[in-house]
Amino acid sequence: MLFDTFQYWVFFAGALLLLAMLRDHPAKIALVVLSFVFYGFWDWRFCLLLAGSIAANYFFGRAIDAREGASRKRAVALAVAFNLAVLAFFKYANFFVDSFAALFGLDPSGMLLNIVLPVGISFFTFEGIAYAVDIYRRQLKAVRDPVDFSLFISFFPHLVAGPIIRPMDFFPQLAQRPAITSEDSRWGMREILKGLIKKVALANWFAPIADAWYSGGQYDGAAVPAYAGVLAFSMQIYFDFSGYTDIARGCARLLGYRFPPNFERPYLSANITEFWRRWHISLSFWLRDYLYISLGGNRVSVPRMYLNLLIVMGLGGLWHGASWNFAVWGLYHGFLLIGHRLWRRFVEARGIAGFVDAKWFAPVWVAFTFVIVTLGWIPFRAPDFASSWNTLSALFAPQDPAFALAHPALWGVPLVTLAFCLVDRDRRVQDWLTQRASLPVAALAGALALLFLELFAQVETQVPFVYFQF
């Protein structure tokens, strides 16, 4: 089920009604069952994999918690190896076969496996690894209640595309079922409507423009220029993924649970380091806490620290998909992060940090960061290296502005979004609607959001959420 379908909202309304009639523990059992029903809508066989992952990680957690010394280390190594093996088989087996065949000039057709990629496998395997490592580091005790642990892994709002929930953030919420307040209800509905607008009205409008460029097709009877295709995908992936996160957080809040933010207006970042603190925050923190720090983090020599950054970002790129294009995208960001660190060392050593960081100069850095991030989306979206190179080459050829003039939303939506972010810099308007606005005013805001969806929703085509493939 997709968040932008009528089918999902019937399912969600039924879930709210059922949970309202149940007490604490039966409600958690019902949520686990509902989560498996939700997951089974893609393919019921995936439920077997999900159940197996839950059972294995539950017992791994108990085993790690009960051991000391070398035995404890072996237990956590086995837990991590199990999760990585599951991920490697289902997501990367054919990628490894293709790469091996290309390296030795072999025909891979007879070696490829008929494997269906389970939806959300990258997310729930990472959560299993985080759980095992947190127990090993003694930051968490193993969960004894299998229902609580099952809910942590399978909870349907975040199951297929995150955010990646940290065990220490989620398990304390299971101790006592909170009452849903008026503020919770308003906040949840606000996030759901905001997410639907981002996805159905904005991301789905940009998607066919990006698809037309990268597939060599047309949009609205016209060829799409390179700048339009590249900009369209940059807008699509932000509105698509942040819209999913908004809906997921809103649904979780209405069910009585809180998810951490996963996006903090990343396209307003003044540098690439700040961008990764604002973009896909749960993955950034996961890579930092469970991979970068494990490799030595900032405690090693400077060359080794830079190598660690490249390893982490390269693997983070591959996490997104079984393609060398994703690895290139990750390494590109790794080199950008290294470049930013070298730049900061340079400006601080020259004593010009005050000038570089001046407020009047900030728009220049925001624009520069947006450009380099948008260029980085090219290998992320392009089907292969040849398409990536052709897109880059086309960007440096003379550009025809006619397409942008014919479709003013291409540049109008980013500008209006920017203006809104500047006006509501601290989210005061949004928080006011949630916390202090009268009920009629809040209802009017909701009605206007629904009217916007009615006028601008792209209902004629169904565009899957981008991150469902990861």
How many Cα atoms sit within 13 Å of 269 on the Cβ side?
21
Three-class secondary structure of residue 261 per DSSP: coil
Catalytic site residue 320? yes
The one catalytic residue in 158, 320, 333, 407 is 320
Taking the C-alpha atoms of residue 400 and residue 403, their distance in angstroms, rounded to an integer, is 7
Which DSSP state fits 358? -
Three-class secondary structure of residue 279 per DSSP: coil
Place of tokens 């990258």: 122
Q: Show the tokens assigned to 404.
A: 């942008």
Taking the C-alpha atoms of residue 50 and residue 70, their distance in angstroms, rounded to an integer, is 29
Long-range contacts of 456-463, Cβ-Cβ distance < 8 Å, separation of 24 or more:
456/201, 456/205, 457/196, 457/200, 457/201, 457/204, 458/200, 458/201, 458/204, 458/205, 459/200, 461/204, 461/207, 461/208, 462/2, 462/5, 463/203, 463/204, 463/207, 463/208, 463/240
Which DSSP state fits 91? I
- Adjacent-strand bridge partners of 178: none
Alpha helix (H) residue ranges in 197-262: 204-215, 226-254
Would you please indicate which residues are annotated as catalytic (active-site) residues?
Answer: 320
